[in-house]
Each structure stands twice: as structure tokens, then as C-alpha cells.
Structure 1
Amino acid sequence: MDKGVEFVGEKTTVGWEKFLTLIEQALAVPGQLGALFSLLFTLEEKETLATRVLLVIELLKGELTHREIAQYLNVSIAKITRGSNALKLVTPELKKFLLESASLI
């Protein structure tokens, strides 16, 4: 049974690496990224990703409490906590990139 779990993890890692490569390649072609995401993500998955982006932006802005963000985005406090915990793990370079992204904040 452990082999099955290990295989799933390995397959996930390989798939994730291929996904990131596809994104990098799509960025070089105008309009390609949106088309790629339309192929790969369902409407529900896009909504989940969009909510996660908005959640991270609100956490970075630091203007609202976790409870206010949860109410504003109509998500659970647990989701806000997971997002907050994830932000604690990002590299200083990524945090700087996010904070400097004028289109986000």
C-alpha cells in the first residue's frame, strides 16, 4: 500500500512540474495562458483559484481581520487561516514580488 501512496505522490510531482512548464511556455504566446487554463480548469476550480488570489491579496494588504476577510469573500475562517499559514512559508523574494505587483494590491 505504501508503494501506491508513493507512486501517487511521484505522479503528482511529475504532473505539477509539467503544469509549471506549460505555464512558462504559454506566457510566451499572447492569449495562450487563458486558453490553457480554460482547458485545464473547471469553472469551480477557476473560482477556487480566484478566491485564493483575493484571499492572499487581502492578507497582504493587512487592512481587514481574518473574520472580515472570511465574510467579504464568503469563505470559512479555516480557509483564511490556511492562507495565512501559507504566506508565513513563502520566501522573502516571493513576498516582495507579491507586494510589488501593483496590479494585485
Structure 2
Amino acid sequence: MRFIDNPFQCPVTRTMSIIGGKWKPIILNCIADKTIRFGKLNQLMPAISNKVLSKELKDLETLGLIERMEYDELPPRVEYKLTAAGLSLMPVLMEVANWGNSHFAKSIVS
């Protein structure tokens, strides 16, 4: 099945450019249905550096998938939650996860 002749106009290419990569799907999954602080995200993903986590969160915010809420407190508190666009992406990510689970099992048997 072909989606479009020009790959740069392909909706699948566009979607993968937004959610692709190593960390964005994991971050979105960690935030999923709750508001979460930066430190908690860092605990949930110990393999990611603070610098990379900050960059990925900024990218997701720029894309309109998460909202950053900064509170004027001491110590400073920053929380993240999914926007409506981010929430609408969760069923897609769940289907990708389901596909990965079923094909992972098949690749072990082969």
C-alpha cells in the first residue's frame, strides 16, 4: 500500500518525524494520563540524561503534544501533562505497542 507519491508529504512520514526516535514515545507513555514532574520522569527513565530529557520535552511542547506548567515556588516545580493532541496520540502508540508485542513473539519463534 502506498500512501502518497512524495514521501515528504506522506502522513506516515510526518507522524514518524513527530513521534519517532528513541525517547519521545517513552516520554509520552510515562506522562500518559497524569501530570508528572521532571524528576519523576527522570526516575522512570534512568538511561536518559537530564540534557536529552529536557530537549525532548521542549520538542514535545513545541509540537503541541505536552503542556509544561511552571510554578513560582522554592524549590522550583515544573510539571508536564499531555495536551488534547497528545492524548489523541495515545491509542496510536498503544497499537504500535501491540504490534511490537505480537511481532516480538514471532521473531523469537522463527
Q: Same fold (TM over 0.5)?
A: no
Higher helix share: 1
- TM-score (norm. length: structure 1): 0.40
TM (norm. structure 2) is 0.39
